[in-house]
Structure 1
Amino acid sequence: MDQPEMPRIVFRSRFGIGLTIVVWAISAAGIVSSLVSGAGLVPVVLLASLGWFVWLAFWRPSVVTDARGVQLRNLVRDVDVPYDAIDDVDTRYSLVVRSGGKSFSAWGAPAPGGAASLRDSMSRRRATNRSDWNDAPQSVRAGGTARPGDTVGSASGAPATVIRRELARREHEGIRRDTAARATVAVRPLLVVVSGAALAASIAVIVLPGV
């Protein structure tokens, strides 16, 4: 029987989603109010730029998994890593995919905050007794090696669990790795251009008089 194709899953920080929605709502209301009241371009440009940069920093960052591999979408750079090229996955401070001697961090998949990190060693010892790790792969739970960032409900743990399970499935089924597979990094020029334009416009309306 053929193995069903792995579905495409997009992981984003819930905090980032909520923050972006709130800021966009406030910015949209402010822009409409400025246009109606004739307040000029300054508030319109600044609010539009704010909305753009919040989207760029908190909504766009994400982790995408599918049947082919993993894509880490950061601010203006994407990293594509086929499963055959993944050496390891870590979640100490954020989701990190290691490939070919390099480490690639996911901006949109942070590990739990500072308090959880300080409890890291205790949590690792208690991992096998915590229900939070019940859905994590056995390789993570074995020997109490789970970190706070490995919990399935966390921003880093959810994609890490999917990746680890797929790697374990491939190993269990004896799927041969493609040794030529490599991680690829791509900068998105459009995002860079729009960000530069938004920053320049914001500076211009503040510095130039009469705008």
Structure 2
Amino acid sequence: MTHRASEPEIIGSRFNRTVCVVVWAVAGIMLLSAFFGGGEATLRSAPTIALLAYAGWVVLWRPNLVITDEHVSLRNVVTTVVVPWSALIQVDTRFALTLVTPGHRYSAWVAPAPGALTSQRMARRSRKAENENPLERSSDGRSLPGELRGSESGDAARRVRARWDALIEAGAVQTGTADTTPVTRTMHVTVLGVLAALLGLSLTAALI
């Protein structure tokens, strides 16, 4: 069967990016306050403000999950992990969206499973939707909190599984080679270096 190439899907955390905007707003207010405090106050505060804004980007905005016809890529805070479809054996959501390969588990920073209170609220909403519209009832039989519709882990897992199933059905995934298919893991050296430099400047400015 011929497989028609699909566009990559990029998934980010809605919650994390909302928090990041708040962090950037706080950093902007701090910078404005330092500016009105004079040149010395601005110079002393600038490294800390820059650290706050940059850390917000690194931890909250930059991480994502990318689904392509070749692999699933998890760009987390410290590393990026690229898992080819041939290496994947399971998609788990117990604590977060987790790609399982022989001997390894790789969790997505952008797709955590919901907490207890959030799970209860989502479960009530899901049951209400099912009662109002039987077509909305889940057919996969999964009941873990991380599988709930509307949760970042559950929604991301469904998109990963949908692409995986489509590729397998089209014969685009080589099966039986999970043990020998390499997974690429790259450390974000430059990003961590910038964070360390900004932290050092912030500490220096605070001690001057």
Question: Same fold judged by TM-score > 0.5?
Answer: yes
Matched, 1:169 2:166: yes
Match of 2:62 in 1: 60
Match of 2:96 in 1: 94
Match of 1:111 in 2: 113
Contact 2:51 2:199 in 1 (8 A): yes
Consecutive unaligned residues in structure 2, runs of 5 or more: none
SS, match of residue 89 in structure 1: strand
SS, match of residue 204 in structure 1: helix
Give, as a single letter, the amino acid of the residue that structure 2 aligns with 1:72: L
Matched, 1:73 2:69: no
SS, match of residue 95 in structure 1: strand
CA distance in 2, matches of 1:44, 1:132: 56
Distance apart, 1:132 and its partner CA: 11
SS, match of residue 146 in structure 2: helix
Aligned partner of 2:53 among 22, 35, 51: 51
SS, match of residue 152 in structure 2: coil
Contact 2:2 2:170 in 1 (8 A): no
Give, as a single letter, the amino acid of the residue that structure 1 aligns with 2:33: S
Give, as a single letter, the amino acid of the residue that structure 1 aligns with 2:203: I
- The sequence identity of aligned pairs, in percent, is 31
Match of 2:28 in 1: 28
Q: Which moved more, 1:81-90 or 1:157-166?
A: 157-166
Alpha carbons of 1:40 and 1:150: their partners in 2 closer, same or farther (altered >3 Å)? same
Q: Which has the higher contact order (CA 8 A, sep 6+)?
A: 2
Contact 2:63 2:76 in 1 (8 A): yes
Give, as a single letter, the amino acid of the residue that structure 1 aligns with 2:24: W
Distance apart, 1:135 and its partner CA: 8.6
Distance apart, 1:202 and its partner CA: 1.6
Distance apart, 1:86 and its partner CA: 0.6
CA distance in 2, matches of 1:93, 1:190: 29
Normalising by structure 2, report the TM-score. Answer: 0.82
Alpha carbons of 1:48 and 1:89: their partners in 2 closer, same or farther (altered >3 Å)? same
CA distance in 2, matches of 1:154, 1:45: 36
Contact 1:96 1:103 in 2 (8 A): yes
Spell out, residue by residue over 1:164-187, the C-alpha distance to the aligned partner (whole angstroms, 9 max, x if none): 112222333344516242211000
Q: Which moved more, 1:186-195 or 1:58-67?
A: 58-67
Normalising by structure 1, report the TM-score. Answer: 0.81
Distance apart, 1:196 and its partner CA: 0.6
